[in-house]
Amino acid sequence: MNLFLSSRPDRQHVAALLKCRGSEDLLGIFKAKLEETKAALVVADDTVKIHRLQGRAEVLQDFLEAVKEAPSIMERLR
């Protein structure tokens, strides 16, 4: 399950994700933050910190996947 796209996605939400798809700068920031988070996970030694970083990585990954899937989902909503 994707945090940004439910089983019944809202047209406005998908349209917003489509707009994000056009912003390479924004996507670059999210991709960079995801890589930073993965690198921090490799060296994390505290269980609480690991869980927080895992959550952050999951949200960033879900966002990037939602942006990637937005065109096909919008097509299904039409």
Q: What is the pLDDT of residues 18-56, one digit of tens each?
A: 999 999 999 999 999 999 999 999 999 999 999 999 999
Confidence of residue 11 (pLDDT cuts 50, 70, 90): very high
| pLDDT on residue 4 | 86
**Burial class (CB within 10 angstroms; exposed 0-12, middle 13-18, buried 19+) of 16:** middle
Are the C-beta atoms of residues 70 and 11 closer than 8 Å to each other?
no
Coil, helix or strand at residue 34: helix
Instruction: Report if pTM > 0.85.
Output: yes
Confidence of residue 8 (pLDDT cuts 50, 70, 90): confident
The chain-wide mean pLDDT, for the chain, equals: 93
